[in-house]
Amino acid sequence: MGVKKMEIKKLLVVCIINAGFVDLVMDAAREAGASGGTVIHGRGTGNKQIAKTFGLIISPNKEVVLIVIDETIQEDVVNAIYKRAGLDAPSQGIIFTLPLDRVAGLSELVAEEEVSDEQE
């Protein structure tokens, strides 16, 4: 059983936010069709001059939320998250997506693969 090419394209949604706003991001993502995510704790190294120029307070404690989604719900998920947790919100989030060529270990993919193996 290897890693198979996906029928539906998957994307990785990456959302970098101030610490303490993960639930806000995940609630928005779930309401838009995402199922779950992974959180990585980090520390930002923001440019102090940019913060001063734009009047931002940059918190060094960050959380990175990683969510794998189907390409078909990309706009809904990204817009929902950005509305609640974008730069203008207290979470001061940035969000972007990356294409995924292959994914292994997601329950929906495992189920698809088992069905394909049984049919062969």
The CATH number covering residue 66 comes to 3.30.70.120
Quote the pLDDT of residue 114.
Answer: 47
In terms of residue numbers, what domain contains 54? 10-119
For residue 2, being part of any structural domain is answered with no
Residue 5 placed within a domain: no
| pLDDT number for residue 111 | 44
Domain contains 37: yes
Query: 4 in a domain, yes or no?
Result: no
Q: State the average pLDDT over residues 7-24.
A: 92
Q: What is the predicted pLDDT for the residue at 103? A: 81
- Count of domains observed in the chain: 1
Share of the chain above pLDDT 70, in %: 76
pLDDT of residue 20: 94
39-72 pLDDT, tens digit per residue, is: 999 988 766 776 677 776 677 889 999 999 999 9
CA dist 68 and 71 (Å) reads: 9
Residue 98 lies in a domain: yes
Identify whether 25 is part of a domain.
yes
Q: What share of the chain is helix, strand, coil (3-state, %, to 5)?
A: 40, 25, 35
Residue 70 CA to residue 47 CA, distance in Å, equals 34
Q: What is the phi/psi pair of residue 17, to 5°? A: -135, 165
- DSSP-based three-state secondary structure for 41: strand
In angstroms, rounded to a whole number, what is the distance separating the alpha carbons of residues 45 and 47?
A: 7
